[in-house]
Structure 1
């Protein structure tokens, strides 16, 4: 490749990573679900057939689960186009990424592979190894029976456990079961008391079957709910510190974005409740942010954040307040990363209390950037969908003049992280050529995205990007 071709390839890879990090194919504030899905499908196909090695490497870059599954399926579907060396690397990356995905997503992938007739030897081996690596196959069979069965049939796996095989292919014909959870599942068909010994998602179906009141059911099943299930249902009061203690018990390979999930849940609370519980909720978010920052806490120097709580931060009916939640979670994480007492948050609305923020008003990004530059920071992080509209285009002009006249040596690091994929441009909406813009799904990805932003500026080309990706892949696989 020549220098120009290298630059195009690097831009293509970053374009894909931005999209695969920010978009989940769902409706956004400015785009429909169909527009999002169509743009994503195009980018996946383009990367798969033009940069297969880099496409596979993206599995180690923290792209979101939706796009990771699309990439895994694409790689498995086109196995005939891969060299033996590519197949070996891809197989290792796929196996590793499957371990980090929630089991229901993996089982849906198995169904999808079966529906599309993807049944090459590598696919069967990956499915077999994942299923046989389950610590509690009976538990997963009860929770995800149809997906479990689809995986066994598709990969021609002999599960080796006759009782489990009976449960999957003729569950009520076998009685009684000696495996406790299988027998409890069978009894729950006939007696409501048995369902409270089952996992929450399974018990929920039985509760509806027996006509049990929702409040009564939740009160009795709460002891069997995982911290994530408690957070997702929203039925119980949010208790961040209790959640922190419970989440510490979960050290599996799945990287759950607790800080962002908690921010989503906090923003769903009424403003009055947030105000009344300000100290408790703030402390909880700060504790989660400190855990996420880890060894990097206090190492980023003087940091100023420009945070978008304009009307478009509402997101969409299917991603309600998601962009605002990412901004809120980033706020607490940046506070933890900055040197003590050296963090300045600037919300688009001018609000001072992050706990009381809500979507509303225009997006004066340019004005907030001027305010941010006046604080004399080492680093500015902008968390916004990039729709600079008050006045339009001012942010780009501010950054152009700043870089050209006042900071040509780039002493101040400016990074824009965008939680919204723009289907029309096949990228996240950028503020300016003078500041890199990268896609973000969860605040937990912020540190790695700031690292990746150096490539988005065009200062480094494809060889450097390839070396970076190779290092990320080796760390990703070597650490596990």
Structure 2
């Protein structure tokens, strides 16, 4: 029993770490989210530190990965074997701005032990272009170098950061472009987009002319953000290669008329992204039925607009790719049949849609919802209980509830009932891995099996990190 409790505690934390970002949700404020997460991190670190550290190898989001790293580095006296390697491997996968933000928090907290300095030094040494980082993330780079007592990568970068008036010119093109951009408009087009924006405003450059000339220096996401702000349509080239959930968010941001006019292009892009996400699992799930929540609560919040609906849309196309050809049924709570035109509207009749989904006798049932079953309340849980206990006690149909919204009040994602395991999800492309974790959430396996699974994921992460270092 104690092992089952420990496994449940760790899985509860994994659900939170995958789903929650400390931001406002539809039914809870940012403060509630942050307080709930802070308690969970402290509780799991104190009671299950090795498993807490091993969660860095799972698909938890970067917000929680940074919190885990911070907690581990703040408490060096409790450190276990291999923690430093695991932290370094996870930091190598994170966006640089998040890592620099983490280093600043460590500096503010006075965390400067030997292990922390070694991790900062190793991460900085692995950066592909230190001069670019010095321009783009200047405050973060300076804080990290000072805190870890690490010299700059080269003399030029050091002078740029700490003695900018020492050199008349720089040999590195990015550093030289930054120096010249203070008085020469043409030089700003050799800078990263986020830095060049400020110089363009200083020189009074028109927005349209600036975006046209800086386009070659922009990343795909920067182009999408500026297109969204300007109301410009995304081109097929912009959509190609995008991750599934981000693509779904971009599609949902388009007006209905544009979605309908570009139906073939958008559907093709979503299916291509889903096939990439499915990978070796494509076509191997047999007959799949999905219940997808497009009720009003799927609109998310002001800071996470339409995120739950985008996850449901991404899961729809991913499950279509995972199912055997022609063996997928997707049912939206609104009753709509056109996934490209979904919108957050109406109540959440999950129970009725689950009945419709089970009527076809699928091999797998996947429910994508925030769990607020309200038409009528509680019907979904009762349907699943009766179905599991009376109609399918042999578990011919594998069922899982994936929830894209963290419920701060219960320190977990909201569940429909004990009959079906619930796991948190942030990105639709993580669905195959999360379904594997759901097997532990059913309560039929204990801590030993969960520990073995985490050990495999840790070994995979460390091997990938080592391969990247030697490549």
Question: Which bracket does the TM-score occupy, shorter chain normalised?
Answer: over 0.9
* Shift in Å, 1:231: 2.4
Report the counterpart of residue 202 of structure 1 in structure 2: 195
Deviates more, 1:235-244 or 1:6-15: 235-244
**What is the match of residue 216 of structure 2?**
223
Q: Does structure 2 retain, via aligned residues, the 8 Å contact 1:437–1:453?
A: yes
Which secondary structure does the structure 1 equivalent of 2:92 belong to? helix
1:395 Cα deviation after fit: 0.3
Q: Structure 1 residue 408 and structure 2 residue 408: aligned?
A: no
Q: Which residue of 1 aligns with 2:417?
A: 432
Whole-angstrom distance in 1 between the partners of 2:136 and 2:263: 37
CA contact (8 A) 2:277 2:429 kept: yes
d(CA) in 2 for partners of 1:371 and 1:230? 42
CA distance in 2, matches of 1:272, 1:160: 52
CA distance in 1, matches of 2:380, 2:198: 51
Does the 8 Å CA contact 1:231/1:262 hold for their aligned counterparts?
A: no
Please report how far the alpha carbon of residue 241 of structure 1 lies from its aligned counterpart in structure 2 after TM superposition: 4.7
- Native 8 Å contact 2:130 2:153 kept in 1: no
Asked whether the 8 Å contact 1:348–1:363 carries over to 2, the reply is: yes
SS at match of 2:144: helix
1:237 aligns with 2:222: no
Q: CA deviation at 1:232?
A: 3.2
Alpha-carbon distance change, 183 to 416 in structure 1, aligned in 2, over 3 angstroms: same
Displacement, 1:279?
A: 1.0
The structure 2 residue matched to 1:42, chosen from 29, 32, 39, is 39
The equivalent of 1:251 in structure 2 is none
Inter-CA distance 131–342: structure 2 relative to 1 (3 Å threshold) = same
Q: Which residue of 2 aligns with 1:51?
A: 48
Per-residue deviation, residues 411-459 of structure 1 (Å, max 9, x unmatched):
1011000000000001000011000000011112111100000111101
User: Deviation of residue 372 (structure 1)?
Assistant: 0.5
Contact 1:21 1:439 in 2 (8 A): yes
1:159 aligns with 2:152: yes
Contact 1:385–1:420 (8 Å) recurs in 2? yes
Counterparts in 2 of 1:90 and 1:444: CA distance versus 1, 3 Å: same
1:317 — aligned with what?
302
8 Å contact from structure 1 (residues 314, 321) kept in 2: yes
Return the offset for 1:172.
4.5
Q: Secondary structure at the match of 1:408?
A: coil
Q: Residue 226 of structure 1: CA displacement? A: 1.2
Q: Are 1:449 and 2:445 counterparts?
A: no
TM-score normalized by the length of structure 2: 0.96
* Aligned pairs, number: 462
Q: Which runs of 5+ in 1 are unaligned?
A: 248-257
1:285 paired with 2:278, answer no
Matched, 1:136 2:129: yes
Alpha-carbon distance in structure 2 between the residues aligned to 1:441 and 1:287? 20
Rounded to whole Å, the distance in 2 between the matches of 1:286 and 1:240 is: 13
1:29 aligned onto 2:32: no
In 1, the alpha carbon distance for the partners of 2:94 and 2:175 equals 25
User: Is the CA contact (8 Å cut-off) linking 1:309 and 1:357 kept in structure 2?
Assistant: yes
Cα distance in structure 2, aligned partners of 1:172 and 1:311: 56
Determine if contact 2:125/2:153 at 8 Å carries over to the other structure. no
Distance 1:50 1:345 in 2: 41
CA-CA distance at 1:220 after TM superposition? 1.8
Rounded to whole Å, the distance in 2 between the matches of 1:104 and 1:71 is: 17
Tell me how far 1:240 sits from its aligned partner.
4.2
Partner of 2:468: none
Maintained 8 Å contact 2:224/2:238: no
- For residues 150 and 362 of structure 2, the distance between their equivalents in structure 1, rounded to whole angstroms, comes to 58
Q: Quick check: 1:262 aligned with 2:247? A: yes
Aligned partner of 2:10 in structure 1 is: 13
Distance 1:57 1:108 in 2: 22
Alpha-carbon deviation of 1:179? Answer: 0.9
Partner Cα separation in structure 1 for residue 335 and residue 106 of structure 2: 49
CA distance, structure 1, for counterparts of residue 321 and residue 202 of structure 2: 47
Deviations 1:315-342 (A, max 9, x none): 0001000100111111111111111111
CA distances 1:88-119 after superposition (whole Å, capped 9, x unpaired):
41111110111110111011111111111110
